[in-house]
Homo-oligomer: A and B are copies of this chain.
Amino acid sequence: MPDKTAPDAARRSQRSRQAICEAALSLVGETGYDKLTIEGIAARAGVGKQTIYRWWPSKGAVLLDAFTETMEAGEGTLPDTGDLATDLKAVLRATVDEFNDPAFQAPYRALYVAMVNDSEVSAGFTSKVMEPGTQAYVDRIRAAQDAGEVSEDIDPRLAAELILGPFAQRWLLRSQPLTHEFADSLVDMALTGLRPRNPRA
Q: Mark A165-197, 1 if CB is under 8 A from B, else 0.
A: 111111011110000001001100111111111
SS class of chain A's interface: helix, strand, loop or mixed? helix
Taking A109-B116, A169-B165, A191-B194 as contacts, is the C-beta distance between A185 and B122 under 8 angstroms? no
Of residues 142 through 156 on chain A, the ones whose CB sits less than 8 Å from some CB of chain B are: 144, 148-152, 154-155
Check A166–B162 contact: CB distance below 8 A: yes
Q: Does A48 contact B (CB under 8 A)?
A: no
Given the known interface contacts A32-B117, A168-B165, the answer about A193 and B190 at a Cβ–Cβ threshold of 8 Å is yes
Flag if B194 contacts A141 (CB, 8 Å). yes
Q: Which of B118, B123, B194 contacts A154 (CB 8 A)?
A: B194
Residue of B nearest to A182 (CB): B158
Looking at chain A, what size class is its interface with the partner chain?
A: 35 or more
Any B CB within 8 A of the CB of A81: no
Chain B residues contacting A182 (CB-CB under 8 Å) are 158
A97 adjacent to chain B (CB < 8 Å)? no
Tell whether A164 pairs with B169 under 8 Å between CB atoms, given A116-B109, A196-B148. yes
A113 contacts partner chain B, Cβ-Cβ < 8 Å: yes
1/0 contact string of A25-52 vs chain B (CB within 8 Å): 0000000111000000000000000000
Q: Does A159 contact B (CB under 8 A)?
A: yes
Q: List 26 A-B contacts (CB under 8 A).
A: A33-B117, A34-B117, A113-B113, A116-B116, A123-B174, A126-B173, A126-B175, A131-B175, A144-B194, A148-B199, A151-B192, A151-B194, A151-B197, A154-B194, A155-B185, A158-B166, A159-B189, A164-B169, A165-B166, A165-B170, A166-B166, A169-B169, A190-B193, A191-B193, A192-B195, A193-B195
